[in-house]
Homo-oligomer: A and B are copies of this chain.
Amino acid sequence: MLQRLRIRNFKSIYDETIELGRFNVFIGENGSGKTNVLEALGMASAASENKLSNDELALRGIRVAKPTITFSSFLKEKQVKAIDLELLIKTEDNLNVNISNQLTTENINDIFSKWTLKDGILSIEDEGKPISLVPYYESILQTNTFDFLTRAFLPLMRNYSTPEKLQRFLIEQVNTLLPKTFIRSIQLDLYKIYNLSTQTLRGIDGKSRAIPGIQGENLDRLIESFDKKERELLEEYAYFIDWLEKIEIDKEDRHKSDGHKLDMSTSILYFRDKYMQRKNNRFSAENANEGVLHILFYLALFISRHTSKFFAIDNIETALNPELCKKLVEQLVKLSTKTNRQVLITTHSPSVLDGLNLYDDEQRLFKVYRNKKGHTKVKRIQLKPNQEFNGQQFKLSELWMRNYIGGIPQNL
């Protein structure tokens, strides 16, 4: 799990630290910087794999901008020409690993300028006690990596007059591998920001070949890849869509010629409507209502064994009835535990808040806002300890809408 994320100097975020849980929901005004938080993590992810080209960033859902506006540029502050990202990862054996990433670029005025990463392990702690990295080096040096390194650096040997110098050099090299190893251990390297488009879900206008893509590309292929267990799990949730009788994948795209699609959609996903006459009850993704496509995408994303364990969703409420959205979130929370995901989600829907149980520390709610200097701030909304049951008196959605929580414009 990523336990803590510190972001400095990225877009509207001047210096902010966020303590994450498993299921993290962000609310706030338009322009408060919610998406920037998701993107900052995307930068860390991309950097760890050296996938910092504009195309690669865009495929993760990051809006690529000129470095001059990617670095924070607040009034009365000198612009720092580096993005600093600090990640605290809790490993499965309960180590706390603190990783730093610093991103710089050659020409800050050039949108095509290449990004450069400087990363490293700041510390590793075991139950609060700092531990030495040496065993880690050793464990790595004992593996194939070591053979590889030895061979790779053999020609350089002569440059290192003493074994100590060579060792120091190798440790430096390993040091750059380590952060990536930990980042991979939580699948942060595979992180993407999903922001669905109905058209794309329908199989029109998709741009990504990923299964699935960030705007909802290839939902049909994702479901096709399901094994029996996944399929059964998905079908358990069919009750979300009252009229849904059956989901079909038309592997050979046979129905296309039946005139089910205007030939614009590449999707081979079909639904059957139980209220309609059997001969006329098959709908292509192109013709289905948008709600079913959004719901199905999120469920499939959380169920599939092929999707990353770590991802973000921007505007999860799009096109969904508020009550449905609440129940969906409630189920996604459960799935996130079941299939071991860590997720960051932004929303403008009050109902999403009602889908959370804030007594569970794994489910966290944050409000994002600008302080008086314009800096993005992220504040966790927590409950008082031992709050008595109060008979529905305080629904989170209503507290938010009635302006008791913040995160809404007060003076429009």
Contact = CB atoms under 8 A, between A and B. Distances in A.
Interface of A: 28-31, 35, 54, 58, 63-66, 68-69, 73-75, 79, 109-112, 195, 197-199, 205, 207, 215, 239-243, 258-262, 275-277, 279-283, 286-287, 289-292, 295, 315, 317-325, 327, 348-351, 370, 373-374, 395, 397-398, 400-401, 407-409, 412
A262 B103 CA distance: 20
A31 B198 CA distance: 14
A322 B401 contact: yes
A160 to B, nearest CB: 42
A54 B265 CA distance: 14
A260 B111 CA distance: 7
Given A31-B289, A109-B259, A321-B407, 16 more contacts: A30-B241, A30-B321, A31-B292, A54-B262, A66-B258, A69-B283, A75-B277, A79-B280, A110-B259, A197-B199, A240-B412, A315-B318, A318-B318, A323-B401, A395-B401, A398-B401
B287 A65 contact: yes
Given A35-B289, A374-B275, A398-B398, A324 B409 contact: yes
B243 A69 contact: no
A412 B323 contact: yes
A270 to B, nearest CB: 12
5 contacts: A29-B242, A35-B289, A65-B287, A75-B275, A197-B197
A287 to B, nearest CB: 4
Contact of A412 (B66, B282, B327, B348): B327
A397 B401 contact: yes
Contacts of A31: 241-243, 289, 291-292
Nearest to A244: B31
Q: Which 7 A-B pairs have the closest CB atoms?
A: A30-B291, A275-B374, A111-B259, A323-B408, A73-B280, A327-B412, A65-B287
A315 B321 contact: no
A291 B63 CA distance: 14
Contacts of A54: 262
B66 A259 contact: yes
Given A65-B287, A281-B73, A319 B321 contact: no
Contact of A242 (B66, B73, B409): B409
Contacts of A321: 28-30, 348, 407-409
Nearest to A202: B63
A409 B323 contact: yes
A197 to B, nearest CB: 5
Contacts of A242: 29, 31, 370, 409
Given A197-B197, A262-B54, A289 B65 contact: no
A74 B320 contact: no
A320 B260 contact: no
Contacts of A289: 30-31, 35
Centre residue among A69, A295, A315 by max chain B CB count within 10 A: A69
A296 to B, nearest CB: 12
Contacts of A281: 69, 73
A30 B319 contact: yes
Contacts of A317: 348
Contact of A215 (B58, B69, B199, B261): B199
A276 B317 CA distance: 31
